Amino acid sequence: DAKTTQPPSMDCAEGRAANLPCNHSTISGNEYVYWYRQIHSQGPQYIIHGLKNNETNEMASLIITEDRKSSTLILPHATLRDTAVYYCIVRVAGAGGGADGLTFGKGTHLIIQP
């Protein structure tokens, strides 16, 4: 799986949009971009994933650049409960054989300020 690069920490004001960047410049054509988050002392939580088109669900939007080398996770109206570590991960479509575990890097610690 391709590696990702994320800023170690970010701040965002409550009620504003939080934009979390992720660089995955070595991504290949069959790799998807996933976002998870982990709120302190809880298990990781799936947020969203996409291949090349922008995606939106009830939690967030995922914007993937046309060359697919980077993406941005957008939390449209951040609340204090969105304070967490956010992980950007890339995964090969239909991977089989070997350990199929998610590889979590260090992520971005997003702090929502009141």
Partner 1 sequence: DAGITQSPRHKVTETGTPVTLRCHQTENHRYMYWYRQDPGHGLRLIHYSYGVKDTDKGEVSDGYSVSRSKTEDFLLTLESATSSQTSVYFCAISRSFGGGENTEAFFGQGTRLTVV
Restricting to residues 33-52, which ones interact with partner 1 according to CB under 8 A? Answer: 34, 36, 41-46, 49, 51
Q: Which of 14, 19, 23, 32 contacts partner 1 by CB under 8 A?
A: 32
Q: Which of 8, 29, 96, 114 contacts partner 1 by CB under 8 A?
A: 96
Which residues, 6 or more positions from 109, have their beta carbon under 8 angstroms from its beta carbon?
Answer: 8, 9, 10, 84, 85, 86
Minimum distance, C-beta of residue 84 to partner 1, in the bound complex (Å): 13
Q: What is the distance, to the nearest Å, from the Cα of residue 69 to the centroid of all Cα atoms in its chain?
A: 14
As a whole number of angstroms, the distance between CA 62 and CA 33 comes to 9
As a whole number of angstroms, the distance between CA 107 and CA 85 comes to 6
Q: Specify the residue, 52 or 77, whose C-beta has the smaller distance to partner 1.
A: 52
Q: Which residues sit at the interface with partner 1, rule CB under 8 A? A: 30-32, 34, 36, 41-46, 49, 51, 90-96, 98-102, 104-107
